[in-house]
Structure 1
Amino acid sequence: MDRLSELPDYAIFHIFWSLPIIDVVRTTILSKRWKNIWTTTPFLNITDNHISDSDTRKKFPNIVHRALLRWDGVKVLKFKVNLHRELSIYVDADLWVRFAKKHEVEELYLHWRDLNMKRVGNNDQKVCWVPQYLYSCSSLKVLSINTFHFSISGNVQWNQLKSLTIVNGFGVTKDVVNQILCGSPQLEVLILSFVESGESLCIRSTSLKELSINKHLCNADNYASTYTTGELKIWSSNHKTLEIWTPNLKTLEIKGIPYNKCLLTNVSSLSRATLGYYGLHHFGDYHWYGLTGMDGFTRRFLGDLFGQILPSIQHTENITLLSCCQKVLGAMIERCMNSSSPNVKSLRLRFHYSKFVGMIKIFPLSKKLFIEVEERVGFYDEQHSMRAARYIYYMLKENLPMSFVLQLRTVEVTLVEDNFLILFLEFLLKNASELEKIVLRVKGPLNSLLGASQKLMKMPRASRTARFTFCEC
């Protein structure tokens, strides 16, 4: 029986989307029905990262041209150009994108990975520019662009665009972002990752529901001068501001060093927020070694930066603070010690155990707590372990708000061997009277914490409804 021929068209097209176009053409040998069905697929994936043969790589542009000439579909729903090669193929790729625009493409993915491309600069020989005709592609609903330079002359006409992702983007200035937002009245998702602009940014949109800014870097010249002087005070002199005015925004993610100031002037509908800090390990020819050696001024500045954001999102029900915050938590806690976020019902923390109690004080009424401690707590011997246990238990008893303990319903922790979280769970079992669910996610073999889990299972519980669930990460 020819089971391949019995597959519905959509299932076959989905298979085609997972394959490079060269392999799609080769599927003609699989069955009689598949002989020509590839010429009508609305999903076209042009990628060359799987090609290792040098002759095939040279012939790759011509193979794609011939395949597109034979295409006889009605409309292109998804179109991807994912290239890992020199810029000499850019002229061919431009023709392929024009082909997609001509056939009213709805989802377009342009991912360019050139190892020789300069990270900063406007050299035409090293940077691919977003073609001007793409800004008038009104059929687009999803657009993802990786490693391109933006320069807009005219109006953006993305009337149906719902999702826009820009990774490694150049020239993403305040004016460019404003033009994009003005020309995308239905835009709901905006993701900016590792983009370079060198100036302040204002995001104003009534349609946005999800916004992610990931390591929005400042201008390279500032990093160069900072590296020369050996000081990490670049943020105090640049005076760059990130302003967000998005009244219908539901999800916000800010990771990295966005700007000196983060002004969330209108995020009244926000329900989920993620904050984090990434240390700069390298930038061009300049190397960094995280933030372990930062001076007090810089640590306080970064704490103030996130401290500016927390009061603006205290109405948010779900907050995630990543491990990247741990170097500046002291300043954050100091900034927010006189204020709390009573509306936060779900809190997710991922950083060193010694700081998380201070963060919990800012969110005293959370009912769900998710914790992942990345640093292992090791003990020299049994006596050292007992001293540490007594200290941690005392710290929890004296500092953890009882309002938090008494309202807690769900706890989910990611454990490593000899982790202090075992002691934390022991404390909760004895005091959290409304606890309903405890989920233990174990890094490594499940039996690595068999002894600790058995101990927890036998402990007396303040809540009769508390139940354990064990699983591997």
Structure 2
Amino acid sequence: MESSKRCNHGDLLRELPDVLIFDIFWRLPMTDVVRTSVLSKGWRNFWTTAPFLNFDNRAMLFDDNSKLQNFVNQALSCWNGNRVLKFRFHSHNEIASSMFSDVDWWVNFAQRNGVKELDLHVLCITKRAWPGFDGKEVYRVPPCLYSYSSLKELSLQSCNLEINGNVQWNKLECLKINAFRAAPDVIGQILSSTPQLKVFYLTYVDKGGILSIQSNSLKELSIDKYIMGPDDFFVLSDLRICTPNLESLEIKGLPYKKYFLTDVSSLTRAVLGSVPFGLGHFLQVWLSKALSQILQSIQHVENVALSVCCPKVVGGLKMNFRHSAFPNVKSLELRCCLDDCKQAVGVLAMFPQLETLVIRGKKEDGLQDDTEPLKFEANIPESFLLRLRTIEVTWSDQGYDIFPLIEILLKYASKLEKIVFQLYTIKSPAPSNSLSLVSQKLKGMQRSSTNCTINLTQLSL
């Protein structure tokens, strides 16, 4: 009886539209998709026709690469569908170069079967990915992929891009690259060969040269520059961006020597990142100057996020831009460490039309209760926080030095409607009175807006 029920249950599932079933398959690891063959006789070979193939090992379904390699090869040998629309391979364990030929075969398999979306993450042996390594342990994208003109979405992680010939990605709309080596001339060649590209994410190790992003089709751009060793600190390269239809821009990681944003007239959102914590005073001052260069070109943007790592960066921005430098910004996000709060008021004065303020940060040191009033400048402009309606704060229970800033915000934001405070619990076990203490402090502060509500939430990391 129970066996009959299971069979009927499987048959009911089989009556769902194939497009819905295949969408479910795409959200499952391929091991689970293969197991659907036991649901009923009608499902025995159904998975072999799936157009979405998801070999994602990030959940450690296979504890070593040989098992993963065998599974992928066997699954593709059994596949007998008409087309592969989506193909994903993500490794969790580091892959040796001896397995690269198999990865090439998988990419060729997907390409031969008409793949539209390809997501490839081939984790290299990271212990060799330091100054002096020759790159042989990093997977190189096979040449055949560059000539495949039917791709619409492509994601390449931990791969090297070396182009010998032409790129023919005429239909590509979304490209995400995380590469150890992606020379500026390679990026330039790709952009010149992707006339339909709308989304471009680039994470790479900068080895010098001028990175030039020129595109009339781009709508969303994200650039993250990182390092593999100490020598990369001294790479002084430039960044040039000319994207007249760009709407969203993110620039994160290590700063460039110079920035040239010649046409970002359609930009509505900008996220400007920072150097990691602990990289020294020199890089922090360098970042301050770099951000100042960028900000001069994005004063028309409505949504801005600033990720800063020390007071000197924020102070540097204030020195370069006096009051009302950003008359169009309605939403501002400050991603900061604790000490930035004493400089944040000066920064906020540059945004007279601000309606939404988001503050994300944490206390790195021990628990402190520092609620001594800050010494603010007497010449705060009349427009200060005049239009602010929503404040969202995400902080940790490691310190309460955020409260002097919150006190000023509540005091001056006369039209404030809501403040949302999310307190992350860092300590384990969590202090039982953390949320209560935050609630008492907020309720005891003077508020110029009589309609302001407070929403408190405690989250655990």
Structure 2 residue aligned with 1:369, among 331, 354, 357?
357
Give, in whole Å, the separation in 2 of the partners of 1:466 and 1:89. Answer: 60
Give, in whole Å, the separation in 1 of the partners of 2:84 and 2:255. Answer: 37
**% identical aligned pairs:** 43
Deviation at 1:439, TM superposition (A): 1.2
Q: Out of 327-336 and 160-169, give the one that drifted further.
A: 327-336
Equivalent position amino acid for 2:454 in 1: F
Give, in whole Å, the separation in 1 of the partners of 2:290 and 2:380. Answer: 25
Deviation at 1:408, TM superposition (A): 1.4
Deviation at 1:274, TM superposition (A): 0.8
Q: Does 1:3 pair with 2:9?
A: yes
Secondary structure of 2:45's counterpart equals helix
1:284 paired residue number: none
Structure 1's 209 and 87: CA in aligned 2 closer, same or farther, altered over 3 A?
same
Q: Considering fraction of residues, name the structure with more helix.
A: 1
1:406 paired residue number: 386
After superposition, the CA RMSD in angstroms is: 2.9
Whether the aligned pair in 2 keeps the contact of 1:291 and 1:327 (CA below 8 Å) is no
Deviation at 1:358, TM superposition (A): 2.2
Q: Does 1:273 pair with 2:270?
A: yes
Q: Out of 454-463 and 68-77, give the one that drifted further.
A: 454-463
Q: Deviations over 1:55-84 (max 9, x none)?
A: xx5454444333223222222111012233
Q: Does 1:152 pair with 2:132?
A: no
1:317 paired residue number: 302
2:223 paired residue number: 213
Unaligned runs of 5+ in 1: 227-231, 281-289
Q: Does 1:344 pair with 2:329?
A: yes
Q: Does 1:425 pair with 2:435?
A: no
Whether the aligned pair in 2 keeps the contact of 1:415 and 1:442 (CA below 8 Å) is yes
Secondary structure of 1:408's counterpart equals coil
Deviation at 1:192, TM superposition (A): 0.9
Whether the aligned pair in 1 keeps the contact of 2:51 and 2:86 (CA below 8 Å) is yes
TM-score, with length taken from structure 2: 0.85
1:252 paired residue number: 249
Secondary structure of 2:159's counterpart equals coil
Deviation at 1:180, TM superposition (A): 0.7
Give, in whole Å, the separation in 2 of the partners of 1:96 and 1:212. Answer: 28
Structure 1's 355 and 193: CA in aligned 2 closer, same or farther, altered over 3 A?
same
Whether the aligned pair in 1 keeps the contact of 2:253 and 2:275 (CA below 8 Å) is yes
1:25 paired residue number: 34
Q: Does 1:74 pair with 2:82?
A: yes
Unaligned runs of 5+ in 2: none
Give, in whole Å, the separation in 2 of the partners of 1:5 and 1:314. Answer: 60
2:154 paired residue number: 143
Structure 1's 375 and 64: CA in aligned 2 closer, same or farther, altered over 3 A?
closer
Q: Does 1:437 pair with 2:425?
A: no
Structure 1's 466 and 34: CA in aligned 2 closer, same or farther, altered over 3 A?
same
Give matches, 1:24-423, under 5 Å.
Answer: 24-48=33-57, 50-52=60-62, 57-58=65-66, 60-83=68-91, 84=93, 85-116=95-126, 117-119=128-130, 123=134, 125-170=136-181, 172-217=182-227, 223-224=230-231, 234=234, 238=236, 240-279=237-276, 290-292=278-280, 294-295=281-282, 299-324=284-309, 326=311, 328-337=313-322, 340-351=325-336, 352-375=340-363, 388-389=371-372, 391-392=373-374, 394-395=375-376, 398=378, 400-417=380-397, 419-423=400-404
Secondary structure of 2:98's counterpart equals helix
Give, in whole Å, the separation in 1 of the partners of 2:289 and 2:422. Answer: 33
Secondary structure of 2:73's counterpart equals helix
Give, in whole Å, the separation in 1 of the partners of 2:405 and 2:129. Answer: 49
Q: Deviations over 1:70-114 (max 9, x none)?
A: 222222111012233212111111111111101110110110112
Give, in whole Å, the separation in 2 of the partners of 1:59 and 1:102. Answer: 25
Give, in whole Å, the separation in 1 of the partners of 2:387 and 2:317. Answer: 24
Equivalent position amino acid for 1:358 in 2: G
Whether the aligned pair in 2 keeps the contact of 1:111 and 1:147 (CA below 8 Å) is yes
Secondary structure of 1:184's counterpart equals coil
Structure 1's 120 and 43: CA in aligned 2 closer, same or farther, altered over 3 A?
farther
Equivalent position amino acid for 1:407 in 2: R
Q: Out of 451-460 and 127-136, give the one that drifted further.
A: 451-460
Q: Deviations over 1:131-183 (max 9, x none)?
A: 1110111111110111222121222111111111111341x222211211111
Aligned residue pairs total 437
Secondary structure of 1:73's counterpart equals coil
Give, in whole Å, the separation in 1 of the partners of 2:256 and 2:312. Answer: 17
Give, in whole Å, the separation in 2 of the partners of 1:65 and 1:416. Answer: 47
Structure 1's 305 and 339: CA in aligned 2 closer, same or farther, altered over 3 A?
farther
Whether the aligned pair in 2 keeps the contact of 1:200 and 1:259 (CA below 8 Å) is no
Q: Considering fraction of residues, name the structure with more strand.
A: 2
